[in-house]
Structure 1
Amino acid sequence: MKLLVFTLCVVFVAAQKPHPCESPKQFEGRFGRFDRVRKLEVFGKFAYDDINRRYREFEFIQTGSKSEFYDKLFLHNEGFEYSMNLRTRICNKTAITWPFRPYAVPPDANFRGTSVLGPSNLGRQHVTINIFDGKTPEGNIYYAITTGEDCYPVTFTFFDKKTGETDRENFFDISLGISDPEAFIPPRGCPP
């Protein structure tokens, strides 16, 4: 009888342990991040396609009184990045030299806890978030913060073990799906 009770307790506790949630495969919204190469804050809009490993962003950069706008398209399955300066209309096509970074919680992620953003005692004026961490197939460490129930990305942080550098991206105003059917077509004027 004790063994049966113990087994039921283990099953109950295991059932309570949160498992990684499933993030949406295609979504769009806004982002903010610190660009370590250019050493400045970058904000913009993005479209993300996990299925075909594609990412499009329109960056806005403000340095003093100077503003720059870029249209960047990353096609990981094809192995190319397109980057167009929208002021000068100069476009570069280069090979992608880094692996695709999914903005989704991997199935083997470690659940680290749940938290609440905003006042939890005032009805629905808060968001429950889940915190995960783990290692990428390349051995780099990541931290993922997602919304509790829907698993939308809030913040993704990657630590590159080779360079010692950190990339952190914050997401907001997310909506499901891709509204522009041409979101992943290279900008006009870019090399074929």
Structure 2
Amino acid sequence: MNNNFNQINLLPIPWMKQKLESIYEKKFCGDLFLFFSNLRSSTKVNPKTITDLLDNLNIVIDNTHPIYFYFPTEVNDFINDLIITLKSLFPNNAYIILCGFKEIYISSNNMDYIANLCDFYPHLRNKIDGCCLIDSSKSFEIFTSLSDTQRINILPNSSCTISCPILDYKFYNINICNLNHVCFVELIEDKSSNFTNYYIKGLTNKNNNFNFNF
């Protein structure tokens, strides 16, 4: 698959929602979207681009339709700008969750990480609603599943943002089903030599029980 996309992209991934329920044996509440970009980290985000993407997919954001954005803990200038833009557009109904792997942040807890991040990016203070640190055991399986179902190839480390919505429900009311979960991921290079290695590692997991090649 060629990761040929333009600028910022928002894509519904219903098959991946089903796959997550199979992997983790849990019910997924709400709808799942993939958020990715090929813009440079120094690029400023145009708010209209964000609202147009949401409008094109008929995503409603209000008190009864909250939206959760999941970003990697490795925040760069572009992600910083995205978070600030989202919070300015939807101050009361958009929630920002940072996601990472426990193996990387062994000595940190969630609150420590947020505090340290805000020291580096002070404009993010009071804009991060939570931090979810998970284990990385399913990262390659999610890579392979997403490649099969959506023909999109992500960096395996990006898979944490896809897993967090089903693993950590303390951030929202699970009785509300009008939820939208938007997961920011990074794509691998089109000609990356790592693709086959990543893909095969995903196939070795026992939960990889269906593949879609279209």
> TM exceeds 0.5?
no
| TM-score, L = length of structure 1 | 0.28
The structure having more radius of gyration, on CA atoms, is 1
Answer 1 or 2: which has greater strand percent: 1
| Structure with the larger RCO, 1 or 2 (CA within 8 Å, 6+ apart) | 2
| TM-score, L = length of structure 2 | 0.26
